[in-house]
Structure 1
Amino acid sequence: MNNIRKMPLAGLGYNFIEDALPKGKDEYYLRNEQWQSKDQFRQLTAYEIETLVRNDNTSDNWNNIFVSNEFNPQLVQHCHFFGMVRIGKLEPYYLEYRNLKLPVGLYNSTICACDFGDNVVVHNVNYLSHYILGNEVIVANVNEMVTSDVAKFGNGIVKSNEPENLRIELELCNENGGRAVLPFDGMLPGDAYLWTRNRDDIQLQQQFRTFTEKQFDKRRGYYGMVGDRTVIKNCRMIKDVTIGTDAYLKGANKLKNLTIKSTAEARSQIGEGTEMVNGIVGYGCRIFYGVKAVRFIMASHSQLKYGARLINSYLGNNSTISCCEVLNSLIFPAHEQHHNNSFLCASMIMGQSNMAAGATVGSNHNSRGADGEIIAGRGFWPGLCVSLKHNSQFANFTLISKGNYLSELNIPIPFSLVSNDEHENVLQIMPGYWFLYNMYAIARNSWKYVDRDKRIDKKQLIEYDFLAPDSVEEMFTALAIMEIATAKAWYALPENEPRKTLTDKDLRKKGKELLLEKPEDVSRLTIYAEGMENSHRKTVLTKVHKAYPIFRELIVLYGIKNIIAAAKPSFVALQAAIKTAKRTPWVNVGGQLMKADTVDGLKQRIRKNRISSWDQLHDAYREIGKEYAADKLQHAVASMLEIKEVPLKNFSTEHLQQWLVDSVATMEWMAEGIFKSREKDYKNPFRKMTYSNEKEMDIVVGSLENNSFINATKEELETYKEKVRRTIIDWEL
Structure 2
Amino acid sequence: MGKVKKLPLEKLGYDHTDEKLERHYHLRSNKNKIDKKYRHLSTEEKAILIQNHNYSTDWNSVMVTDTFNPQQIKNSKFYGNVWIGNISSQYLNYKDLNLACGIYNSQIINSEIGDDNAIHYVRYMSNYITGDEVILMNVNDMETSPAPKFGNGILKEGEQEDKRIWIELCNENGGRPILPFDGMQATDAYIWTRNRHDARLQSKFIELTEKSFTNKAGYYSEIGNQVVIKNCDMIHDVIIGDHAYLKGVNKVKNVTIHSIESAITQIGEGCEIVNGIIGYGCRVFYGVKAVRFILSSFSQLKYGARLINSFLGDNSTISCCEVLNSLLFPAHEQHHNNSFLCASLIMGQSNMAAGATIGSNHNSRAADGEIIAKRGFWPGLCVSLKHNSKFASYSLIVKGDFLYELDIKIPFSLISTDVQNDRLIIVPGYWFLYNMYAVMRNSKKFEARDRRTIKNQYLEYDVFAPDTINEMFDSLAIIEKAVGKSLMPNWSNSSEEGRKILMDKNIKISQDIFLENVENSKRKVVMLKPRESYSLFRKLIRHYAALQILNKEEWNKLDMEELLSHIKNYSNSTRKVFENIGGQLVPKEDLQGLLDGIKADQFENWHQIHKQYHAWSSNYLEEKLVHALASLAELSNKPLALWDIDFLTDLIEESKATQRWIYDEIYKSREKDYTNPFRKMVYENEEEMNIVVGSLADNAFINTMKEETADYLAKADHILNKINIH
TM-score bucket (shorter structure): over 0.9
Structure 2 counterpart of 1:394: 391
CA drift of 1:63 comes to 0.8
Q: 2:693 — aligned with what?
A: 701
CA 340–636 in structure 1, closer or farther in 2 if over 3 Å, else same: same
Runs of 4+ with deviation above 6 angstroms? 16-21
Which residue is 2:581 aligned to? 589
Secondary structure, in 3 states, of the residue corresponding to 1:627?
helix
2:677 to 680, 685, 708: 685
Residue equivalent to 2:183 = 186
Displacement of 1:580: 2.4
Counterpart of 1:379 in structure 2 is 376
| Residue 495 (structure 1) aligns with | none
How far, CA to CA, are the matches of 2:590 and 2:387 in structure 1? 30
Deviation at 1:365, TM superposition (A): 3.2
Q: Deviations over 1:89-137 (max 9, x none)?
A: 1111111112011111110001001111111111101101111110111
Equivalence for 2:533: 547
Closer, same or farther: CA 19–704 of 1 in aligned 2, 3 Å: farther
Q: Distance in 2 between matches of 1:239 and 1:71?
A: 28
Q: Secondary structure at the match of 2:232?
A: coil
Shift in Å, 1:576: 4.8
Query: Residue 698 and residue 279 in structure 1: after superposition, are their counterparts in 2 closer, same or farther (change >3 A)?
Result: same
Structure 1 residue 575: deviation in Å? 2.2
Q: Does 1:514 align with 2:501?
A: yes
1:380-433 superposed Cα distances (whole Å, 9 cap, x missing partner): 011000000110000000000000000000000000000011111000000000
Asked if the contact 1:16/1:149 (under 8 Å) is kept, the reply is no
Matches within 5 A, 1:138-537: 138-492=135-489, 498=490, 501-502=491-492, 506-518=493-505, 521-522=508-509, 524-537=510-523
| Matched AA of 1:530 | E
Cα distance per residue 1:653-705 (max 9 Å; x no partner): 21011110110000000000100111111111111111111111111111110
1:633 aligns with 625
- CA deviations 1:491-519 (Å, max 9, x no partner) are 14xxxxx4xx51xxx32222122112127
Equivalent position amino acid for 2:416 in 1: S
CA RMSD of aligned residues (A): 1.6
Over 3 Å counting, the alpha-carbon distance change for 1:36 and 1:468 in structure 2 is same
Aligned length: 719
Aligned pair in 2 of structure 1 residues 19, 181: CA closer, same or farther (>3 Å)? farther
Q: Shift in Å at residue 29 of structure 1?
A: 3.5
Deviation of 1:716 after TM superposition, in Å, equals 0.3
CA distance in 1, matches of 2:152, 2:72: 37
Q: Structure 1 residues 96, 20: closer, same or farther in 2, change over 3 A?
A: closer
Give the match's secondary structure for 2:28. helix
Q: Are residues 1:116 and 2:103 paired?
A: no
Partner residue, 2:12 = 12
- Is the CA contact (8 Å cut-off) linking 2:32 and 2:131 kept in structure 1? no
Does the Cα contact within 8 Å between 2:23 and 2:218 map onto a contact in 1? Answer: no
Q: CA deviation at 1:248?
A: 0.5
Cα displacement (A) at 1:69:
1.1
| AA of the residue aligned to 1:450 | E
| Aligned partner letter, 2:143 | V
Alpha-carbon distance between aligned partners in 2 of 1:122 and 1:518, rounded to the nearest angstrom: 79
C-alpha distance after superposition, 1:621-655 (max 9, x if no partner): 01111111111111101111222221222111210
Compared CA separation, residues 16 and 134, structure 1 to 2 (3 A): farther
* Deviations 1:558-594 (CA, angstroms, capped at 9, x unpaired): 0010011223233145225423221121100111000
1:608 maps to 2:600: yes
Of residues 697, 701, 711, the one that matches 1:719 is 711
Checking the alignment, whether the CA contact within 8 Å between 2:280 and 2:298 is kept in structure 1 is yes
CA–CA distance in 1 between the matches of 2:630 and 2:126? 63
SS at match of 1:145: strand
Q: 1:577 to 1:593 in 2, by over 3 A?
A: farther
Separation of aligned partners in 2, 1:653 and 1:20: 80
Instruction: State the alpha-carbon separation in 2 of the partners of residues 236 and 403 from structure 1.
Output: 44
* In structure 2, C-alpha distance between the alignment counterparts of 1:17 and 1:615, rounded to whole Å: 39
Same amino acid, percent of matched pairs: 52
Question: What secondary structure is seen at the aligned counterpart in 2 of 1:236?
Answer: strand
How far apart, CA to CA, are the structure 2 residues paired with 1:418 and 1:635? 29
1:674 aligns with 2:671: no
Tell me if structure 2 keeps the 8 A contact 1:109–1:127.
Answer: yes
In structure 1, give the amino acid aligned to 2:5. Answer: R
The answer (yes or no) to whether the contact 1:19–1:220 under 8 Å persists in 2 is: no
* 1:120-177: CA deviation from partner (whole Å, max 9, x where unpaired): 1111011011111101110101110111111100000111101110100000000111
Deviation at 1:201, TM superposition (A): 1.1
Residues 1:558 and 2:544 aligned together: yes
- The change in CA–CA distance for 1:693 and 1:607 in structure 2 (over 3 A counts) is same
Could you tell me whether the CA contact under 8 Å between 1:578 and 1:633 is conserved in 2? no
Amino acid at match of 1:180: P
* Structure 2 partner of 1:52: 49
* TM-score, length-scaled by structure 1: 0.96
Equivalent residue letter for 1:13:
G
- Letter of the structure 1 residue corresponding to residue 83 of structure 2: R
CA contact (8 A) 1:15 1:27 kept: yes
Question: What corresponds to 2:129 in structure 1?
Answer: 132
Partners of 1:148 and 1:17 in 2: how far apart?
Answer: 16
SS at match of 1:365: helix
Distance 1:603 1:651 in 2: 37
Q: Provide the rounded CA distance (Å) in 1 between the counterparts of 2:445 and 2:182.
A: 28
- 1:28-86 Cα offsets, whole Å, 9 max, x none, are 54115545346421111111111111111111111111111111111111100001111
Q: Distance in 1 between matches of 2:413 and 2:17?
A: 59
> Aligned equivalents of 2:720 and 2:602: distance in 1?
46
Measured in 1, the distance between the counterparts of 2:659 and 2:667 equals: 12
- Counterpart of 1:513, as a letter, is K
Give the 3 Å change call, closer, same or farther, for CA 19–456 of structure 1 in structure 2. farther
Q: Is the 8 A contact 2:57 2:79 kept in 1?
A: yes
Distance 1:519 1:539 in 2: 26
Aligned to 1:642: 634
C-alpha distance in 2, partners of 1:102/1:519?
A: 82
Task: Confirm or deny: 8 A CA contact 1:328 1:345 kept in the other structure.
Answer: yes
Relative distance call for 1:491 and 1:19 in structure 2 (3 A) is: farther
Q: What is the aligned counterpart of 1:579 among 571, 574, 591?
A: 571
Structure 1, unaligned runs of 5 or more: 493-497
Alpha-carbon deviations, 1:347-385, whole Å to 9, x = none? 000000000000001223344421410000000011000
